[in-house]
Amino acid sequence: MKNSRLALVGIVAATAIALTGCQSAATPDAEGDAGADTSLSDVQDSGTLTIGTEGTYRPFTFHDESGDLTGFDVEIATAVAEKLGVEPEFQETQWDAIFAGLDAGRFDIIANQVSITDEREEKYELSEPYTVSPGVVIVGKDTSGIDSLESLSGKTTAQSLSSNWYELAVANGANVESVEGWAQAVALLEQGRVDATINDKLTFLDYKETDAAGAAGLKIAAETDDPSRNAFVVKKGESALIEAVNDALVELRADGTLAEISEKYFGEDVTE
């Protein structure tokens, strides 16, 4: 009877040791799998960086005369993919669906002039900015008396009513003539029917590149103090991928690639 009890105790002890050993071995792996960030390794293993973009937003992402996807954002995203050692694969989508596409895993990253905001930084991982652009007050080349936002008080500006530039014009005392977009604002300005228009500097620089004759009659009278900063976007928690993107941007800035692409589309460096 005594020997039977000792044997039973031995079996129980051995079983407990075995279970403890299994638990100790399994627990770290389970925890490690749950907290692992494989965003960068997944991209590298696939050999492809899938990029969400509109394809209809000139000069950032659009189709050229041959039908090929190109643009400022497309070229920079392609250069980033090359630095990561993978091929870029663009997935075109409408702006209204672009974040949902990222959330659903349709692509790894968004390249579409996404402005950095507190709300977006809370929900996503954003890269360092690759575009920095202030708002500008644009007037006729011979206009005097407008040299700041404050000097728009009592003047008439051409603005889209749905834009933040409309709000800025009103806040500085301007009378606003409603327009549908940049082309109509410029037309009114050239006709002398308004005194100024406020818009993003990139818009004016693109206009200078695509219509030098028209832009020759205009000038920048003032700039805002808080430039818009635009970045690449990945899912929250994919810090390894966004850190690799930031490293790529550092290298592309250092070797002159960002400045070269910027000069091609805007005639100056707008990347910092």
**Residue 83: CB partners within 8 Å, gap ≥ 6?**
247, 248, 251, 252
Q: Tell me what the mean pLDDT of segment 215-233 comes to.
A: 95
- Given pLDDT bands bounded at 50, 70 and 90, which one contains residue 36? confident
Q: Cα–Cα distance between 21 and 18 in angstroms, integer? A: 5
Q: What is the pLDDT of residue 89?
A: 98
Q: Cα–Cα distance between 75 and 158 in angstroms, integer? A: 32
With CA atoms as reference, report the closest residue to 203 among 131, 101, 127, 126. Answer: 131
pLDDT tens readout for residues 116-138 = 999 999 999 999 999 999 999 99
Q: 48-53 and 87-92 as β-strands: parallel, antiparallel, unpaired?
A: parallel
Instruction: For the chain, give the percent of residues with pLDDT over 90.
Output: 85
At position 63, the amino acid (one-letter code) is: H
Q: What is the pLDDT of residue 35?
A: 65
Q: What is the pLDDT of residue 27?
A: 42
The residues pairing with 137 across neighbouring beta strands, listed in sequence order, are 198, 222
Per the model's pLDDT, the better-predicted residue between 32 and 143 turns out to be: 143
pLDDT tens readout for residues 153-184 = 999 999 999 888 999 999 999 999 999 999 99
Helix locations, the chain, DSSP H: 2-35, 39-46, 72-84, 95-103, 118-123, 164-171, 182-190, 201-210, 212-215, 239-254, 257-266
Residue 18 above 80 pLDDT?
no
Per the model's pLDDT, the better-predicted residue between 115 and 10 turns out to be: 115
Q: Cα–Cα distance between 191 and 184 in angstroms, integer? A: 11
Residue 16 above 50 pLDDT?
no
Break the chain into its structural domains and give their ranges: 1-36, 39-132+229-266, 135-223
Residue 107 above 70 pLDDT?
yes
Q: What CATH number has the domain spanning 39-132+229-266?
A: 3.40.190.10
Average pLDDT, the chain: 89
Q: Tell me what the mean pLDDT of segment 136-153 comes to.
A: 96
Superfamily of domain 135-223: Periplasmic binding protein-like II (3.40.190.10)
Per the model's pLDDT, the better-predicted residue between 29 and 72 turns out to be: 72
Q: Cα–Cα distance between 174 and 240 in angstroms, integer? A: 47
Assess contact for 196 and 221: CB atoms under 8 A.
yes
